[in-house]
Structure 1
Amino acid sequence: MQRSFRVTRRRFATASLAAGAPALLPGCAPPAGVMPYEEAVRALWRHGAVDRGDAAAVRRELVRCATLAPSSHNTQCWRFGIEPQAITILPDLTRRCPAVDPDDHHLFVSLGCAAENLVQAARAHGLEASARFDGANKLLRLALEPTAAQDSPLFQAIPRRQSTRAEYDGRPLSADELRALERAAAGDGVQLVLLTGKPALEEVLAFVVQGNSAQMNDPAFVDELRAWIRFSAGDAVRLGDGLYSASSGNPSVPAWLGRLMFGFFFTEKGENDKYARQVRSSAGIAVFVGPSDDPAGRIAAGRAYERFALQATALGVRTAHLNQPVEVAALRPAFAGFLGLPGRRPDLVLRFGRGPTLPPSLRRPLQAVLA
């Protein structure tokens, strides 16, 4: 669901000086009137303290937790409606990514991720959220009923989860850890395929490289990705969406310089080499296959993935997407065949393992996502 470009600080600084521009680092001061990035992170990535007796405040906190879910290019392609006994999640079609996601597959997966965060947060606040997809209106309604509060490890993991687009340490996970991930993802007819053997990871890497090469040679894809990159901390805070450069381990620079240098560093070979290092440093790869190839099935896949990612976070395990084999339509049938699932549509591919924490992405304010 998310992409990144890899640039070393030294290479970026050298190229910046060669272009006659100063090389700026992540600590650059934000524009006047814009909250510092570190302050924005502290304000966002936390559990809110609300009075459970204040129903309106609780519902707003549930929505805030939902917005901490991942979305394609961090577009935050959702809108929320708050009712007395329910919360609805609707797609925000103004934030579509038609180049990488022409059939809105990732958009509805993203709604599922947000829904799962909301379900986990509701339980922690003494509410049971029962989800029902309204196909006619393409919205997800989560009815809220009182229940005993349950402060689960998955809820606690919500403000610590991130898509960590870095190399991992290469160590395998234990059998108990793998079983915990499988249990978390189970339900709603979603099939999880876990691959941990090196030969299988190399085969997936071959699909990733083939898909990445196709995307890198698609000008519409490259333009769309560039439009969602936030090259500076100031822009990341001001806009509250998109892919912040530092979240991929890259320098934070002025937007004009980032756009200027993007084409110089974002190359097919560079990206393919990066994915090879990342896959080979991972403990395994997980593939999610929803029960149906429609919005309801994609929402189910998104919910299962989010439970997996939250459980991984609780175990100290990082995750990151490798969705090229499912984003490039020409590759999907062969990839499904490799998985032993001919005729099915795999929904999500991600790698997992232990690795560093990177600067987190940001989110838009709550009022921007309320319908």
Structure 2
Amino acid sequence: MNYEQVVRDLWRHGDGQVPDHAARLKELIRYATLAPSGHNTQCWRFRIAEDAITILPDLTRRTPVVDPDDHHLYVSLGCAAENLSLAARALGMQGEVTFNAEGAGEVRVMLAPCQPEVTPLFEAIPARQCSRTDYDGSPITDEELHLLQAAGTGHGVSISLLTEKKAIENVLEYVLQANGLQVGNRAFRQELETWIRFGDHEAIKAGDGLFARSMGSPATPRWLGRWLFRTLFRQGAENAKVARQVRSSAGIAVFISQADDRAHWVEAGRCYQRFALQATALGICNAFINQPVEEASVRPAFAEALGIVGGRPDLVVRFGRGKAMPRSLRRPVEAVLVSSVSA
């Protein structure tokens, strides 16, 4: 299959043909894998039981340079759990999400029968994407902001929506400071390059990583893509692009945890996923600008500038109206399943 065929087969709702309980559980996992993850590493594994699905961190897919404390990894588990929970309800199961911090930690989704409910957030799952492009600058209505605020708020996690130009410029200052540090860091560049899939065939074969076309770059053979990346990925050009994209946005969302621990990171992921799905349902794009929360030397000053006391700024997201971008890909469900014995 070519790239377009793979995308159509992947980013879709099910056809309703789930003949038995086992097939239904695998369908829930398929929806879960459509969640976002840092560098699209898909840093999760799934263990199936009769009345539960457990989401485990796949530590072989860590990104230790950009995410040294695995914060984004656990956020990704929360995103997957939220998708799974929404899909479960649509298929007639209530999903209760809990986090067990023992060992590497795990997210458990207990399942019980309920009346099926197809929500707008569930409907939006196949359409959601991180739109890494310029937006059109048009404002978001108060009603839309209220819906985004409600979707992005959770247990011990709050969301701050910034739409005033001065507030956006204040955040942008820290984004550019941190972005400059990352682009200037050779280890960061090497890690990022490892996860870029430069061409269609490479993206299809891997089923993971950041597809070049999703980031606005042309598809190329890997040898050429690597050369272009190493030649053109420079602080000045990248900061100019980031500044232009942020200034084209209608606003910025900052997700804030009351406590800096894995349970709250997972909850932040669930909150972000609801926010992103609600935005998608409203025709609003979003993309991460997480640089100031990824760089440990910048994060405290960024938190102070936002008036955050005693919590952690988890995620920074720009939003606005814009065009859809080429889609990232996913590995098949079978690739992320683990047996009860091996897990």
Q: TM-score range by the shorter chain?
A: over 0.9
**Aligned runs of 1:30-45 on 2, under 5 Å?**
35-45=1-11
Residue among 135, 140, 157 paired with 1:168: 135
1:139 aligns with 2:102: no
| Residue aligning to 1:366 | 333
Letter in structure 2 aligned against 1:263: R
| Residue aligning to 1:58 | 24
| Residue aligning to 2:313 | 346
Distance (Å, rounded) in 1 between the aligned partners of 2:134 and 2:13: 28
Distance (Å, rounded) in 2 between the aligned partners of 1:297 and 1:220: 28
Residue among 71, 83, 90 paired with 1:124: 90
The alignment partner of 2:53 has SS state of: strand
Residue-by-residue CA offset, 1:274-317 (whole Å, 9 max, x unaligned): 01100110000000012321110100000000000000000000
Distance (Å, rounded) in 1 between the aligned partners of 2:309 and 2:180: 24
**Aligned runs of 1:1-371 on 2, under 5 Å?**
35-51=1-17, 54-137=20-103, 138-371=105-338
Distance (Å, rounded) in 1 between the aligned partners of 2:257 and 2:266: 8
Distance (Å, rounded) in 2 between the aligned partners of 1:238 and 1:256: 16
Deviation at 1:53, TM superposition (A): 5.5
Instruction: Out of 337-346 and 356-365, give the one that drifted further.
Output: 337-346
Distance (Å, rounded) in 2 between the aligned partners of 1:336 and 1:128: 36
The alignment partner of 1:144 has SS state of: strand
Distance (Å, rounded) in 2 between the aligned partners of 1:128 and 1:227: 39
Distance (Å, rounded) in 1 between the aligned partners of 2:311 and 2:301: 11
Distance (Å, rounded) in 2 between the aligned partners of 1:52 and 1:364: 20
CA RMSD between the two structures: 0.9
Determine if contact 1:50/1:61 at 8 Å carries over to the other structure: no
Deviation at 1:239, TM superposition (A): 0.3
Residue-by-residue CA offset, 1:8-40 (whole Å, 9 max, x unaligned): xxxxxxxxxxxxxxxxxxxxxxxxxxx210010
User: What TM-score does the superposition give when structure 2 sets the normalisation length?
Assistant: 0.97
Gaps of 5+ in 2: 339-343
Distance (Å, rounded) in 2 between the aligned partners of 1:184 and 1:93: 29
Letter in structure 2 aligned against 1:201: I
Distance (Å, rounded) in 1 between the aligned partners of 2:267 and 2:87: 18
Residue-by-residue CA offset, 1:76-113 (whole Å, 9 max, x unaligned): 00000111000000000000000000000000000000
Residue-by-residue CA offset, 1:50-88 (whole Å, 9 max, x unaligned): 345611111001000000000000000000011100000
Distance (Å, rounded) in 2 between the aligned partners of 1:106 and 1:187: 17
Distance (Å, rounded) in 1 between the aligned partners of 2:249 and 2:135: 6
Distance (Å, rounded) in 1 between the aligned partners of 2:310 and 2:87: 36
User: What TM-score does the superposition give when structure 1 sets the normalisation length?
Assistant: 0.90
Distance (Å, rounded) in 2 between the aligned partners of 1:96 and 1:205: 27
| Residue aligning to 1:22 | none
Distance (Å, rounded) in 2 between the aligned partners of 1:261 and 1:176: 43
Determine if contact 2:154/2:268 at 8 Å carries over to the other structure: no
| Residue aligning to 2:341 | none
Residue-by-residue CA offset, 1:296-355 (whole Å, 9 max, x unaligned): 010000000000000000000000000011000011111111111133210000000000
Determine if contact 1:333/1:342 at 8 Å carries over to the other structure: no
Letter in structure 1 aligned against 2:214: S
Determine if contact 1:112/1:301 at 8 Å carries over to the other structure: yes
Determine if contact 2:135/2:245 at 8 Å carries over to the other structure: yes
Determine if contact 1:50/1:58 at 8 Å carries over to the other structure: no
Determine if contact 1:72/1:106 at 8 Å carries over to the other structure: yes
Gaps of 5+ in 1: 1-34
Distance (Å, rounded) in 2 between the aligned partners of 1:187 and 1:180: 13
Determine if contact 2:258/2:311 at 8 Å carries over to the other structure: no
Counting matched residue pairs gives: 337
Letter in structure 1 aligned against 2:291: Q
Distance (Å, rounded) in 2 between the aligned partners of 1:64 and 1:115: 12
Distance (Å, rounded) in 1 between the aligned partners of 2:67 and 2:282: 31
The alignment partner of 1:271 has SS state of: helix
The alignment partner of 1:178 has SS state of: helix
Letter in structure 2 aligned against 1:185: G
Q: Equivalent pairs: percent with the same residue?
A: 57
Determine if contact 1:71/1:106 at 8 Å carries over to the other structure: yes
